[in-house]
Amino acid sequence: MPQSSFHMRIVDSAMEYLSVQSASAVLPLQEPSWSDEVPASLKRRDPRIWQMAYVASLRVMTNLPVKPNAIMVATALGALDETKNFLDGVFTDGLGSPRNFIASVHNSMAGKLAQEFKVAGPNLTLCDGHNSLASAIGACALLQSGDFPALVVAVDENIELLDRLIPHLSPGCKQALGNNKQEGAVAFMLHNKNGNQGPRIRSVGPLFIGDKGPDAACSTLLQSQDPSDQTSVSLPSKTAGSFLSVSVAVHDVFRGSIAGRYALCSFSPSSKAIAIVEVCQ
Amino acid sequence: MTHVPVIGIGAVSSLGSTARQGFSAIVQAQDGISPLRLFDSGLKTPPLCAQVHTIPCSDNAPNRNAALALCAAQESIAPIEKKRGDLSLGIVVATTVAGMARSELFYKQLRLDPGHIENAGRELAFHEPAALSGFLCGALKAQGFYTLSTACSTGLHAVGMAKRLVETGAFDLCVAIGADALSLLTIRGFSSLMLIDPSGCKPFDANRAGISLGEGAGALCLASKKALRMTGAKPLAFVSGWGASADCYHMTAPHPDGAGAALAVRAALKEAECRPADIDLIATHGTATPDNDVAEINAMRSVFGNLPLFCSMKRNLGHTLAASGALEAVYSVCALQQGIVPPTAGFSQLDEKINAEPARFQRKELRHILKNSFGFGGNNAAVILSHADCG
């Protein structure tokens, strides 16, 4: 079962559409030179996952006349490397590095982005596995009108330990993560104005499905919506099998100017939940 | 914006396995901390922590954190459990450690024995924060969820987010759940920062020297008008306003003037349509680190001028991280209901830098309580809880 599958019918969500002003991505496997854009001071002292989030955010803000008033970060596992390094310190010589500990918290990327870009408004981190982007967009839709524009950044990193662990995880997790080691950051600038025209996005879920099959659950959810509203174009997924699958696919729609409306369904085996991100270009 | 009713509360802490037990102990200024016995921290002296001694739900949960969260959540929906019918139920789950207490043991063993990797599927199944939400959704028969992790402010953000989810009609009922179990990662982490007071935390006191960690869970069940009508539930209190902000200053140290915190409080007041003078009590974050307590009072002075009554529950409960905002919001609802200003355990001597004393126990009609929570990354949350007559 592919991690993200692209369905034809559009979801009728309780959430309002948000307009997409800009999109960007940092995907190290495809773009090894991405770190050239990291300022020397950050490159020297900051964790790699912070740097990926920083560069994706910097790119998305380029050429926009306004800066964000809110930051929403979507991450499944957060700063894995920092967490591992902290525990290694504790288990090796009894001393964990305070720097590693500070960076290990899931919201460290969001805090760093607020500090770097001076964004004093709401600052939330959503951790819903493969559904994290859907959660972050849902959380954006709950913001007050004065909190927009909002910077949404999906970010996850791969580390050697995760590579070793994946073959030994439960069949569901193994299948969901697959063999793809994709990591990176994908950023969007969202606004609540003009949500009914131009590039736009909204989400449903995560919705708990228990032991129902995710494909069937996604189809049921989509078919329960307006059956007359359809599009038949499917999308490629370059990162099927990573936490960033849906984020990258959404990015491809907006950056590639692929016309149409798409509902992207994701499934998180750890929480037994599906979510749908609907994009219109 | 509307005032959203709280129709159920639940709490598990070192002071008891129900909200009522916990608040009764807080009112008596009961000290909830004792030397850590749950596991070996590896520190020379076991730190003083607020440990939960009995978790009634532990047989039905995959780990300690999930058991804490389940207990609190079940208590919060108990009043309407049999009347839910077709009402939609969502949850907003706040956690920082998620399944770390088990993951760190797995990793320690893995370092010693590479063959232990064969157990990864079982040992790490609940590592992710989202796994906790999925477990709770199944146990509570909820339809959907959001999982938040913003360090020590998470629990209070969950309350605010649950408010908005009910307001927008996403769910008829929404339970905000904050939960964190003690773990080696957090104990050694705060220890590495030298933020743990070896003699136990003393909020706002002149001799305060840091935090005491704790564990627990708090849950508040919020309801739409439709849910109120269909269940016949009566509001215990209202969530009136939520404010969220970032310091943009430092990853761990608060802005000395409390500028970010003040921004969150002003946003919460605005949404609640309250003036500063309407606030009867501030249930502070009050962690008892030298810098945080000063910054919080500076922030409150910048908003309120003359400080309202204020208190801290950290000596009673320990700093329960992502649970703290939800847990202390639960006890704030109890304070509103019973008309009691709780004392601040651990405080005895005025700090001239703060130049204000937390309130002593008193009976007083309380209309609006401001609850604050602040976290790493300069993350700030503020929520206004209002008396049941204020709807």
Q: Which residues of A touch B381 (CB under 8 A)?
A: none
Chain A contacts of B135, Cβ < 8 Å? 271
Domain containing A9 equals 5-280
Residue contact A118–B121, C-beta within 8 A = no
pLDDT tens column, B14-30? 999 999 999 999 999 99
Residue B372 pLDDT > 90, yes or no? yes
Neighbours of B42 (CB within 10 A): 14
Are the C-beta atoms of residues A271 and A206 closer than 8 Å to each other?
Answer: yes
A163, two tokens:
């590579």
Q: What is residue A180's predicted lDDT score, i.e. its pLDDT?
A: 56
A-contacting residues of B 234-263, CB under 8 Å?
244-252, 260, 263
B142: contact with A, CB 8 A cutoff: yes
Residues 6+ apart with CB under 8 A from B318: B14, B32, B33, B49, B50, B201, B211, B212, B213, B214, B215, B216
| Radius of gyration (C-alpha) of chain B in whole angstroms | 20
Closest CA to A28 of A164, A161, A175, A155: A155
For residue range B54-106, what is the model confidence (pLDDT) as tens digits? 898 878 899 999 999 999 999 999 999 999 999 999 999 999 999 999 999 99
Q: Find the Cα–Cα–Cα–Cα dihedral A221, A224, A230, A231, rounded to 10°.
A: 10
**Which of A90, A124, A272 comes nearest B157 by C-beta?**
A124
Q: Is residue A55 within 8 Å of A224, Cβ to Cβ? A: no
Closest by Cα among B24, B33, B21 to B316: B33
Q: What does the pLDDT read at residue B305?
A: 96
B227-244 average pLDDT score: 97
Which of chain A's residues have a Cβ under 8 Å away from the Cβ of B104?
Answer: 87
Name which of A87, A122, A271 is nearest B131 (Cβ-Cβ): A271
Least Cα separation, residue A103 to chain B (angstroms): 9
Q: How far is A276 from chain B (nearest CA, A)?
A: 12
Q: Which of A159-168, A175-184, B183-192, B302-311 is predicted least confidently?
A: A175-184
**Looking at residue B256, what is its pLDDT?**
85
Give SS3 for B256. coil
φ, ψ at B147 (rounded to 5°): -120, 120
* CA neighbours closer than 13 Å in the CB half-sphere of residue A127: 31
Which amino acid type is present at position A11? V
The confidence band for B1, taking pLDDT boundaries of 50, 70 and 90, is low
Q: Is B146 on the interface with A (CB under 8 A)?
A: yes
Q: Is the pLDDT of residue A11 over 70?
A: no
Cα separation, B318 vs B25, whole angstroms: 13
Domain count, chain A: 1
Domains (range + CATH), chain B: 4-390 (3.40.47.10)
pLDDT digits (tens, 9 = 90+) for A39-75: 999 999 999 999 999 999 999 999 899 899 999 999 9
Closest by Cβ to B189, choosing from A86, A165, A273: A86
- Tokens standing for A67? 């800066």
pLDDT of residue A4: 36
Residue A27 pLDDT exceeds 60: yes
Instruction: Flag if B117 and A207 touch (Cβ within 8 Å).
Output: no
Q: pLDDT per residue over A218-268, tens digit each?
A: 777 766 555 444 443 333 344 446 788 888 888 888 887 677 777 888 889
Please give the model's pTM, rounded to 2 decimal places: 0.96
Q: Is B152 on the interface with A (CB under 8 A)?
A: no
Complex ipTM over 0.95: yes
Distance from CA of A271 to the nearest CA of B (A): 4
Residue of B nearest to A107 (CA): B150
Identify the pLDDT of residue A231.
42
How far apart CA B299 and CA B261 sit, in angstroms, is 6
What pLDDT, in 10s, does the model give residues A87-140? Answer: 999 999 888 999 999 999 999 999 999 999 999 999 999 999 999 999 999 999
Residue of A nearest to B252 (CA): A102
Of B365, B357, B358, give the one whose Cα is nearest residue B340.
Answer: B365
pLDDT band at residue B257 under the 50/70/90 scheme: confident
**Domain CATH number, residue A28:** 3.40.47.10
Cβ B130–A131 below 8 Å, yes or no? yes
Report the pLDDT averaged over residues A193-219: 83
Please determine, for residue B53, whether its predicted confidence score (pLDDT) is greater than 60: yes
> Is B133 within 8 Å of chain A by CB?
yes
Residue A166, CA distances (Å) to A82, A180, A261, B116, B124 in order: 19, 10, 34, 14, 11
- Bridge partners of B90, per DSSP, are B144, B174
Q: Which residue of A has its CA nearest to B248?
A: A115
Minimal Cβ distance to B133: which of A91, A123, A271: A271
pLDDT at A239 (0 to 100): 44
| Cα–Cα dist B130/B125, whole Å | 11
Residue contact A165–B138, C-beta within 8 A: no
